[in-house]
Structure 1
Amino acid sequence: MTTRNVQAHLDLVNCDHEPIHIPGSIQSHGVLLVLKEPELTLLQVSENVQTMFGIPAQSVLNHHVSCLLEPSQVEILTRVLLSEDIQSANPIKLRAKAGKRKLYLDGIVHRIDGLLMLELEVAELKESASFVELYRHLKASLTRLQLSSDLHQLCQVAAEEIRLLTGFDRVMIYRFDEQWNGVVVAEDKKAHLHGFLGLQFPASDIPALARELYLKNWLRLINDAGYHPAAIVPVINPLTQRPVDLSYAVLRGVSPVHLEYLKNMEVRASMSISLLKGNTLWGLIACHHFTPKYIGHEMRSMCELVGQIVSMQLLNKQKIEEYRYGMQVKNLQTHVASLIMKEEDGMKGLKRYGRELLKLVNAQGLAICFDEGYDAVGQVPGEAELRPFIQWLWENMREDIFATSHLPGIYQEAREAKFKEYGSGVLAISISHIQRAFLLWFRPEVIQTVNWGGNPDEGVKEGKSLTDLHPRASYEIWKQTICLTSLPWQLCEIQAATELRSIIVDKALQDIVLKQTLGLWLRQ
């Protein structure tokens, strides 16, 4: 493992162990009440109860929730708690008094670990008045999303529509790769801001626990990264004897590492909307603002809906694109198979239709190998490079098919200039288990320049201890050149090669049977 890989591994391990689901505090623009059911006794509260209600946090513990809410409002809450799906009632419109002030609140409830969680945010009354207007905007947004012609356009429209609905300074569509690095695939922003489109970000920016929480919650809002955390008192829940789990809490406190990350980017408010492909986190709609920004519950609900619609469309668009290309490959495979089966000699047919075989898997070179000889079509490594590779395949190929887009990673000789120019990627099928008979498709090295948002080698650094973590300080473009790699082989291409092998074997058996039958007939 290289020094860079070791550091990246340590970054991920450290970040993945940060207990972000039990921060012990909440964002201070709302209040958290942890209640015991059915008594509705206050077991824990956030210390900013005093700021909202004018009552010290310690003085309400072990009291009925009516010490904060009027009896009529407790009755409303109780009716919701008796329903089968309490979350469908969110937000619960509640009223309360704080001295001479009247409070209009949005109550959000959920249950976890046998506890009832009630989060209270001051309601934005003006939102209700403009709901019809918001609905009209939402309807137009959904229409644009549904009319998107492909995946790229869908992502761009999603970024534009979320920014139009919310007014964030920057909205990005952030897609994860197989190693959980992220890349910005679409962006809408204020004209004067520098662009993040095309930038990649290392997996340590959004560690495993954070990704798990994005699977549990469609939306995450940080309305002011400069907030003062409101601690939960007491720290340990008296029933569970452990810190309260805030995985599903809207007000969940933010990791200090993430707050520093936002500060380094000069971002003051952020909102993230999950994009799912089936049950997998495909990416995020990431929103940034450079001043504090609060998004009310009604608007958050609309943004969640947009995220859900985009998620469904993602699956459909990707399937359609894969299907279209897959059908092209399938049609070509059928055509090639019919040509080969018509040939008297199957091996000669392969040589005759080499160009069609290249198109079948979108390769630039093909070597048809049999015993000590081979025939080449297109761009393949030279004989001095190819023969040792055929021997290596014969000794190491354990299955009937072998595919890689990074051959130099497992075959050292492929690093040489004469080889990598034509064969950094290879797709091979073994035609016989008793002879050196292969079809080898080659793809050349594609040198890629990856633009990272900051140096990925810096990752997340330890401070004075393993729990003292700090993100990288700069997000200026950092370029990395990736060599010795070809374009990846798609699943439908590998399947086409596999099915072609079956056709070739069937043809060979057919030729053998035909020759045996002809021999018997001649002897008679």
Structure 2
Amino acid sequence: MMDRQTINSSSIDSLEILLHRMMNRIRQSLELPTILNGTVAEVRAFLGTDRVKVYQFHPDGNGKVVAESVQSQRLPSLLGQNFPAEDIPPAARELFLRARQRSIVNVSLQQIGVSPLDCLETGEVLDVDDIRFRPVDPCHAEYLTAMGVQSSLVVPILHRDQLWGLLVSHHADPRQVTERELQVVQLVADQVSIAIAQSTLLSQTRAQAQQEATINRVATLLHSMTEMKLQQALEQIVSALKGIGGRVYISAQDSGQAQLLTCGMQPVLSEKRKNQSSRQKRTQNSKFKTQNSSTHVAAPVEQYPSWQSCFSEEMQSGENGVWAIADLYQSTVPSDLVQAFLDNQIRGVLVVPLRYRQQQLGYLSVFRQAVEVETLWAGRYDQDDPRHLRPRKSFETWRELKQEQADEWSTSEIELAQALGSHLAMAIHQYELYRQVRALNADLEKDIQERKQAEIKFVP
């Protein structure tokens, strides 16, 4: 047991040098990968161990090695490899988070030392660095042995009161970790937490700037008094939202004619649906025009009763009326609409209602296709152990390829689509007013000409 304020005076210089280098890295670069790569190199040089890595958790509980410094002749590289959530039990994660517990394992002695920074019951910071040793769980020891590791040190990395990841040191030989080394690595982990916060803020600022630039480009195309460049704006929107296609449907206004602009991949109507929509079109006496198409075409999917009823329900239940579906297979969308999209490999749909002052003007739609997801795993579980009750025997890289995976719409993408939809609705409304003014002026000019002609006829 050792008070945190007491550090051996002979080691103060080396400690200050290490922390000074770490702080310089953070000041010189806000790029997190650069900072993490420097961190693992510095920590491995300080500890003299065979491998130091930074392990980041994913939202699903799995994790990935995102930075590593390794003596490849002693231990294999794990950089870029993923580990399943089952490798770190929920109880261990809870201790990492709530108690900021560090762990030290010596496989040869079959013992683990744990050192919490916070009291698990009260959350208060403890006054001493207390490393308590007990027998290590046999599965844990077997797990490390399969990795070729005889001693390990694990320090949690927190961000916004969440368990962001772990700073881990591995050594191929038995090795004791001193209290001073634990203190230094903890201070480094604290610096990493600061770097993550700064990098996250930078990423958010960059994303916001990129979104604002996209909005400005689209607004420039839309808000013109003489010409509304809807087609170019639609192409910009589809590109910004990483879609394979999109469309803007403008409902029939006073002109009595609906409009449809398309870009890229579009839903495909079956012959049966085309015939049904054509009959519907004649029944409703609805006219619309679409770019690059013949006069006799089926009505757009936006005029389907199934579209209108489904989207109406989504507007009532969804956030701000946005219809964001990553996977049509897993949605409640009517089967006729689903088939219209899937026939052209459209898997995800994002629809934004275009409204201005409570008036429904139409829809903005962006489409995505399924994607392939490749994951590198550190070893593969035994097929005979589906519950992962035993540690795997090998950590040889296993490449998993999943096809036809849904591509989720992120919160920032939905917010961007909402902002772009607002500009579209405003521009459509303004352009309709401009069209009405032009039509009124044309009518007035016609009346004036007719009156002039009439006056000429009656001149004696």
Distance 1:175 1:416, change over 3 A: farther
- Separation (CA, whole Å) in 1 of partners of 2:403 and 2:268: 20
Distance 1:229 1:448, change over 3 A: closer
Q: Does residue 1:186 correspond to 2:111, yes or no? A: no
Query: In structure 2, what is the equivalent of residue 216 of structure 1?
Result: 98
Distance 1:446 1:519, change over 3 A: closer
- Separation (CA, whole Å) in 1 of partners of 2:24 and 2:219: 44
Gaps of 5+ in 1: 1-29, 31-86, 94-126, 232-239, 241-247, 464-468
Distance 1:475 1:206, change over 3 A: same
Query: In structure 2, what is the equivalent of residue 431 of structure 1?
Result: 354
Q: How many residues align?
A: 383
Query: In structure 1, what is the equivalent of residue 238 of structure 2?
Result: 358
Query: In structure 1, what is the equivalent of residue 263 of structure 2?
Result: 377
Q: Does residue 1:396 correspond to 2:310, yes or no? A: yes
Query: In structure 1, what is the equivalent of residue 154 of structure 2?
Result: 272
Query: In structure 2, what is the equivalent of residue 205 of structure 1?
Result: 87
Partner of 2:131, secondary structure, is: coil
Would you say the 8 A contact 1:224–1:293 is kept in 2? Answer: yes
Q: Does residue 1:451 correspond to 2:376, yes or no? A: yes
Structure 2 counterpart of 1:142, from 12, 23, 26: 23
AA in 1 matched with 2:401: T
AA in 2 matched with 1:429: V
Structure 1 counterpart of 2:141, from 237, 259, 272: 259
Query: In structure 1, what is the equivalent of residue 281 of structure 2?
Result: none
Query: In structure 1, what is the equivalent of residue 288 of structure 2?
Result: none
For normalisation by structure 2, the TM-score amounts to 0.70
Cα distance per residue 1:476-500 (max 9 Å; x no partner): 2222212223554443332121112
- Separation (CA, whole Å) in 2 of partners of 1:174 and 1:230: 20
Distance 1:168 1:403, change over 3 A: farther
User: Counterparts of 1:497-508 in structure 2 under 5 Å?
Assistant: 497-508=417-428
Cα distance per residue 1:94-135 (max 9 Å; x no partner): xxxxxxxxxxxxxxxxxxxxxxxxxxxxxxxxx653432333
Structure number with greater CO (CA < 8 Å, separation at least 6) is 1
- Separation (CA, whole Å) in 1 of partners of 2:100 and 2:431: 60
Query: In structure 2, what is the equivalent of residue 496 of structure 1?
Result: 416
Partner of 1:286, secondary structure, is: strand
Deviation at 1:317, TM superposition (A): 0.9
Structure 1 counterpart of 2:4, from 90, 93, 97: 90
User: Counterparts of 1:235-384 in structure 2 under 5 Å?
Assistant: 250-251=131-132, 253=134, 254-343=136-225, 349-370=229-250, 374-384=260-270
Structure 1 counterpart of 2:50, from 169, 192, 195: 169
- Separation (CA, whole Å) in 2 of partners of 1:459 and 1:322: 44
AA in 1 matched with 2:426: D
Deviation at 1:462, TM superposition (A): 6.7
- Separation (CA, whole Å) in 2 of partners of 1:355 and 1:208: 46
- Separation (CA, whole Å) in 2 of partners of 1:434 and 1:220: 59
Deviation at 1:357, TM superposition (A): 2.0
Query: In structure 1, what is the equivalent of residue 116 of structure 2?
Result: none
For normalisation by structure 1, the TM-score amounts to 0.62
AA in 2 matched with 1:377: C
Deviation at 1:273, TM superposition (A): 1.9
Q: Does residue 1:131 correspond to 2:12, yes or no? A: yes
Cα distance per residue 1:128-156 (max 9 Å; x no partner): 53432333233223323432341221221
Cα distance per residue 1:319-371 (max 9 Å; x no partner): 2123113212212202312431325686xx42342222223323332222346
Distance 1:381 1:160, change over 3 A: farther
Distance 1:165 1:229, change over 3 A: closer
Would you say the 8 A contact 2:268–2:340 is kept in 1? Answer: no
AA in 2 matched with 1:376: T
Deviation at 1:226, TM superposition (A): 3.5
Would you say the 8 A contact 1:367–1:439 is kept in 2? Answer: yes
Would you say the 8 A contact 1:172–1:188 is kept in 2? Answer: yes
Partner of 2:249, secondary structure, is: strand
Query: In structure 1, what is the equivalent of residue 398 of structure 2?
Result: 478
Distance 1:200 1:228, change over 3 A: closer
AA in 1 matched with 2:34: Q
Cα distance per residue 1:274-326 (max 9 Å; x no partner): 22221111111122111122221222111111111111111211221231132
RMSD over aligned Cα atoms: 4.0
Q: Percent identity?
A: 25
- Separation (CA, whole Å) in 2 of partners of 1:260 and 1:459: 18
- Of residues 201-210 and 353-362 in structure 1, the stretch that sits farther from structure 2 once superposed is 353-362
Gaps of 5+ in 2: 114-120, 122-128, 252-257, 275-299, 448-460
Partner of 1:470, secondary structure, is: coil
Cα distance per residue 1:454-492 (max 9 Å; x no partner): 2257697779xxxxx532333222222122235544433
AA in 2 matched with 1:184: V
- Separation (CA, whole Å) in 1 of partners of 2:112 and 2:46: 30
Partner of 2:374, secondary structure, is: strand
- Separation (CA, whole Å) in 2 of partners of 1:159 and 1:175: 13
- Separation (CA, whole Å) in 2 of partners of 1:184 and 1:413: 44
